[in-house]
């Protein structure tokens, strides 16, 4: 019969429409603006509405999520920032759009380079969030951030991040990427122990 | 009369212009004009190191970045003479097939948009896409610009919980939802009237225009690189090359549905045999050494044959880097399909070719 296909099709939309209301009544207030509700609406067995009301609600990002890189520093005793970066320059070389700019520190007396960055800039409007810098940094000094709300009005004043703006403490890293952090710490410890074991044997 | 459709027009899927010569409402001739999105992809590739090109390939066909990675990784691996470990091969196939599902869903959805079914069907299709993109985000860190493949493997192993999500999708949700989409659209009289017999491309014409992918297979040529020149581990899986014979818009739509079903079939086999083990040969290197020579790596991307031709002279960057972009080459058949049709159908015909301007213009 003519029109049967259309009616069958529209039945699908109608079911979706009704389901949303049924779900809303069933779940009550929990469904919107709560963590539980957001999770329920992002699972694969979701029924009814699928959308997240950004910015009131935020979609939880997975651990591997990557946005602009940040520089990891360890906090010293007097809260001074010990950047892990040694200004080796690998990240600047591997960066596809070439948006990292590093100035090495030199010893003012001897003129020899010191393995620490004097300045470190990333032009975040050029950065394409590829994550290669974090992947290939040999010192785990640069990592990808989860904070994606960095829009602002002024491109040159606000979107060229310097060392201060890029620096984030190690604890922050451990918090946003717990599994990566645990894996790296374990590897570091193993390496230190291996070094300690090698030393006495040599002497 | 000459009418310019585009370059800024919602139906052209990007910045793309069609110069249509009309006689009343009938199309006498059509000339595609593109290049508005040209960003020097190939030349930038020759400036970049081998690894740096990887994230740029994501930006070719931004709907299916994993397949783009795949083709490029194959081309370079062939030259380097390395083979990824088993687990990496399975993960690669898994990602490539999920990408195919994403791409076909988007294409079906937006085809309905072009038909005037404003945004309801496409949003149903995008729901599934969102769930698959969640998986991509969890494994690679980004929803669309995945940058996940490396030479000799993939960037990282699957994080916890991802496999469960994939299983859930492949065994539970996707088959059900594809059937729902089928029920929703396939027998709809309006869809059929608007698409059956529209934009016909015969098998001879399709071959002569070197169309590939769904456009070719909907014209009755069962040519699929996964079967014709099996790469990676596709020779291990059981699946059918979907083929349809009328070569019109409706068949291209049906063919995409068939292909999604076949992809689900492959995914089920992948999930069954996914082995444990490393996902990368050797140590991750930021500067790979590629011996001098040339190679061509090709994959059956969601839109057709996606090939990378690279020439190395042993330097850290390629001497020549060329992309055979399926959208671009399929687009040459647009004039053939549109000639003799009505101007109202040209938008649908373009939608059925499923182009992505990022790939057409490069
Ligand atoms: S962030 Fe890492 S790769 Fe970049 S200069 Fe510092 S230590 Fe080297
Ligand atoms: S994420 Fe990619 S583009 Fe951004 S700074 Fe790192 S290497 Fe460069």
Mean pLDDT by 10 residues, chain B (362 residues): 80 81 87 86 87 88 88 88 88 90 89 81 85 89 88 85 85 85 82 84 88 89 87 86 88 90 90 85 79 87 89 86 89 86 86 85 82
B270 Cα–ligand 2 center, Å:
33
Query: Quick check: bond before B246 cis, omega within 30?
Result: no
Encoded tokens for A36: 């539980």
Q: Is residue A202 over pLDDT 70?
A: no
Distance from CA of B227 to the nearest CA of A (A): 32
Q: What is the pLDDT of residue A1?
A: 56
CB contact under 8 Å between A8 and B187, yes or no, is yes
Domains of chain A: 7-60 (no CATH), 68-180 (3.30.70.3270)
Residue B179 to residue B202: CA distance in whole angstroms: 29
- Three-class SS of residue A43? coil
Q: What chain B residue is nearest to A65 in terms of C-alpha separation?
A: B141
- What is the pLDDT confidence band of residue A33, given thresholds at 50, 70 and 90? confident
Q: What is the pLDDT of residue A188?
A: 83
Report which of B75, B57, B94, B66 is spatially closest to residue B298, judged by C-alpha positions: B75
Residues on chain A touching B188 (C-beta within 8 angstroms): 5-6, 9
Contact A45, A70 (CB under 8 A): no
Q: pTM (2 decimals)?
A: 0.87
- What is the pLDDT confidence band of residue A145, given thresholds at 50, 70 and 90? confident
Whether the complex's predicted ipTM surpasses the cut of 0.85: no
Encoded tokens for B64: 């299916």
Instruction: Find the mean pLDDT for residues A45-63.
Output: 82
Q: What is the pLDDT of residue A200?
A: 64
- What is the pLDDT confidence band of residue A23, given thresholds at 50, 70 and 90? confident
A128-137, A155-164, B21-30: range with lowest mean pLDDT = A155-164
Q: Whose CA is nearest to atom 6 of ligand 2?
A: A133
- Three-class SS of residue B148? coil
Beta-bridged to residue A144, according to DSSP, are A69
Residue B60 to residue B42: CA distance in whole angstroms: 11
pLDDT in tens, A87-125: 888 888 888 888 888 888 887 888 777 777 888 888 888
CB contact under 8 Å between A96 and B183, yes or no, is no
CA A18, A23, A24, A28 dihedral sign is positive
Q: Is residue A201 over pLDDT 60?
A: no
Residue A90 has its nearest CB partner, among B130, B184, B286, at: B286
State whether the beta carbon of A176 lies less than 6 angstroms from ligand 1: no
More confident residue, B311 or A45: B311
């Amino acid at each position: 019969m003519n029109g049967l296909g259309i009616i069958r099709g529209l039945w699908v939309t109608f079911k979706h429409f009704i389901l949303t209301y049924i779900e809303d009544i069933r779940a009550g207030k929990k469904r919107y603006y709560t963590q539980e509700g957001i999770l329920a609406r992002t699972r694969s067995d979701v029924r009814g509405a699928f959308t997240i009301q950004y910015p009131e609600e935020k979609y939880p990002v997975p651990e591997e999520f990557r946005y602009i890189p940040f520089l990891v520093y360890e906090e010293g005793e007097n809260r001074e920032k010990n950047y892990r970066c040694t200004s080796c320059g690998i990240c600047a070389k591997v960066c596809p759009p070439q948006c990292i700019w590093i100035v090495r520190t030199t010893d003012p007396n001897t003129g020899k380079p010191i393995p620490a960055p004097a300045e470190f800039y990333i032009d975040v409007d050029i950065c394409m969030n590829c994550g290669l810098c974090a992947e290939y940094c040999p010192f785990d000094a640069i990592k990808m951030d989860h904070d994606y709300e960095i829009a602002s009005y002024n491109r040159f004043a606000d979107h060229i991040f310097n060392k201060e703006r890029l620096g984030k403490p190690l604890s922050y890293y451990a918090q946003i990427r717990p599994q990566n952090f645990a894996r790296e710490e374990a590897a570091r410890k193993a390496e230190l122990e291996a070094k300690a074991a090698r030393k006495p044997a040599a002497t | 009369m000459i009418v310019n459709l585009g370059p800024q027009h919602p139906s052209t899927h990007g910045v793309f212009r069609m110069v249509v010569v009309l006689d009343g409402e009938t199309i006498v001739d059509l000339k595609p004009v593109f290049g508005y999105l040209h960003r020097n992809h190939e030349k930038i590739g020759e400036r970049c190191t081998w690894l740096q090109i990887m994230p740029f390939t994501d930006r070719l066909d931004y709907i299916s970045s994993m397949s783009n990675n795949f083709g490029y990784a194959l081309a370079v691996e062939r030259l380097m003479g390395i083979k990824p470990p088993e687990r990496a091969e399975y993960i690669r196939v898994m990602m490539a097939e999920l990408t195919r599902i994403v791409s076909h869903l988007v294409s079906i959805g937006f085809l309905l948009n072009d038909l005037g079914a404003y945004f309801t069907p496409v949003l149903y299709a995008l729901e599934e896409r969102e769930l698959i993109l969640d998986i991509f985000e969890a494994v690679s860190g980004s929803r669309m610009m995945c940058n996940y493949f490396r030479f000799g493997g993939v960037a990282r192993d699957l994080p916890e919980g991802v496999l469960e999500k994939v299983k859930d999708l492949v065994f539970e949700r996707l088959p059900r939802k594809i059937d729902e989409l089928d029920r929703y659209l396939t027998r709809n009289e309006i869809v059929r009237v608007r698409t059956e017999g529209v934009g016909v491309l015969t098998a001879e014409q399709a071959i002569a225009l070197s169309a590939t992918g769904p456009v070719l297979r909907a014209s009755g040529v069962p040519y699929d690189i996964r079967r014709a020149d099996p790469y990676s581990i596709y020779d291990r899986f059981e699946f059918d090359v979907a083929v349809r014979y009328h070569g019109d818009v409706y068949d291209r739509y049906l063919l995409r549905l068939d292909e999604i079903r076949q992809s689900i079939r492959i995914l089920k086999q992948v999930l069954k045999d996914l082995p444990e083990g490393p996902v990368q040969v050797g140590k991750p290197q930021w500067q790979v050494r590629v011996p001098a020579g040339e190679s061509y790596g090709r994959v059956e991307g969601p839109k057709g044959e996606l090939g990378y031709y690279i020439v190395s002279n042993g330097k850290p960057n390629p001497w020549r880097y060329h992309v055979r972009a399926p959208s671009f080459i399929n687009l040459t058949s647009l004039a053939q399909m549109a000639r003799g049709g009505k101007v109202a159908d040209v938008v649908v015909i373009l939608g059925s070719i499923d182009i992505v301007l990022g790939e057409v213009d490069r």
